A and B are shown apart, each in its own frame.
Chain A
Amino acid sequence: MNVRIIVKLDVKPPYVVKPLHFEGLKVIATPAELCKKYYMQGADEVYYIDIVASLYQREILLSHIEESAKELFIPFCVGGGVRSIEDFSQLFHRGADKVALNTYALQENPQIINEAAQIFGNQAVVVNIEAKKWDNRWECYSDCGRIQSGKDVIEWAKEVEQRGAGEILLQSVDCDGVGRGFDLELAKKVVQSVHIPVVVTSGAGELKDILELIHYAKPSGVAIASLLHYDKLTISDIKNYLQQNGIKVSACVI
């Protein structure tokens, strides 16, 4: 099966920003501009995460999502501040194909995973896990690595699968935005703990980091942000490199 090469947009409306360690922010461009750019480059999917929506309990700014989805004929996953079935519905209405949950499911009401999966189907429900390492275990965080939950990452991964999530987006609070490689152990453990696809993000600094992750952890997909946003690489650079190294990826044909 092809490894999916996904673009991750961290959005602080109206811009895509790049958090460093989930802290300082750098403005990149508008999400709509980037969606178009990466679609033309041959990305397999786009993950749009509104990084401030849950922090300030604001409504996700729906017009940005609609604008981004307009010319995007690949799957579009949206997350950030999702708290209800009504939120899911609104996001689908504006062009999302999948919706990512984090804070609300983790800290307040995990039952929303079951409800959403029942109504919209498992494939439409993604759970975003922010993991931070403590000795030999990882703990789930929310709100861009700011708030602890006390929940163990592996346990939570199994629980969200049980509850009906169709996919996990796995972030590492420690590695995000640093560009020194992925948390390989974390990725491998989560991938092996569940039967649903796991998309891994946080840490790609160069091409070999991505290859190393795929060899070691065998994720279903890799989500890339900084490497692409700073124009260090294009989607086809990544796909060509992986292909040359024996990894199956979808072609870059638009």
Chain B
Amino acid sequence: MRHIIGIINYGMAGNIHSIIKAVEKAGGTLKVVNFKEELKNVDKIIIPGVGSFKDAISELKSSDLFDTLKEQIKIKPTLGICLGMQILSSVGFEYGKTEGLCGINAEVRPMLIDAKIPHMGFNTVDVIKPSILFSGIENKEFYFMHSYEVVNFHDVLSTTAYASHQFVSSIQKGNLFGVQFHPEKSREAGIRLFKNFIEFEG
């Protein structure tokens, strides 16, 4: 049976179109999720993210998606992208302290380094444990565009170096995945990552 992937829509600020294009190119079937009832009817979840940690969480709360999403990511294969990965954490510190979806035990902190911020551009992802998500695309370059990073020690799938600073560029905890980079903007390697997620059986 073909899985339906629900992509969380955040209203005006959410730039989900690039992701939809890339997932369709990878052969996936998508449904845009605006309400919590729709979330229950999909098989997998993609959480994009635009704006700040605080805005994303308040948007999820005002559209009444927050509690359901928090439950659903425990049972359905989920992929968080960029800020969508960050909000899987327990807490974020962008525009004040905000509680996240608590899918992983992690904090989101500003990247404090002596280099240009946002970290923008293609950079190498060093996969440190085998995972289906990176099957066939281990150690490829992906496109990054962020100023904050996820601080986590238990669920690290890959790291990336920026100006001699090593940060967590993807995580996995069971069926829960998060990538700090934008697979939808990472050429064919990104399409392959979506394909791997589509084919993931959980």
- Residues of A in contact with B (beta carbons under 8 Å apart): 1-2, 4, 39, 44, 69-70, 73-75, 89, 92-95, 97, 118-124, 166-167, 195-198, 220-221, 250-251, 253-254
Contacts and interface: CB of A to CB of B under 8 A. Distances in A.
A124 B50 CA distance: 9
**Closest CB pairs A-B (n = 10):** A250-B122, A92-B15, A123-B145, A197-B116, A4-B121, A123-B118, A121-B51, A75-B185, A119-B13, A166-B118
B185 A251 contact: no
B29 interface: no
A119 B12 contact: yes
A120 B13 contact: yes
A39 B143 CA distance: 14
Contact of A221 (B22, B119, B121, B191): B121
Contact of B120 (A118, A119, A220): A220
A165 to B, nearest CB: 10
A197 B188 contact: no
Interface in B112-138: 115-123
Contacts of A2: 121-123, 141
Contacts of B145: 75, 97, 123
A73 B25 contact: yes
Contacts, number: 105
The number of chain B residues touching the other chain, given as a range, is: 35 or more
B146 interface: yes
Contact of A250 (B25, B121, B185): B121
Nearest to B11: A89
Given A73-B191, A250-B141, A95 B17 contact: yes
Interface of B: 12-13, 15, 17-18, 21-22, 25, 50-52, 55, 83, 115-123, 140-141, 143, 145-147, 162-163, 182, 184-191
Contact of B117 (A4, A74, A75, A195): A195
Contacts of B188: 73, 253-254
B118 A167 contact: yes
B163 A1 contact: yes
B117 A196 contact: yes
B13 to A, nearest CB: 5
A124 B15 CA distance: 10
A2 B116 CA distance: 12
B50 A120 contact: yes
A120 B14 CA distance: 8
Contacts of A195: 116-117
29 contacts: A1-B116, A2-B121, A2-B123, A2-B141, A4-B120, A4-B121, A44-B122, A73-B184, A74-B143, A95-B21, A118-B51, A119-B12, A120-B13, A121-B50, A121-B52, A122-B118, A124-B15, A124-B50, A166-B118, A167-B120, A197-B118, A197-B121, A220-B116, A220-B120, A221-B121, A250-B122, A251-B141, A253-B141, A253-B188
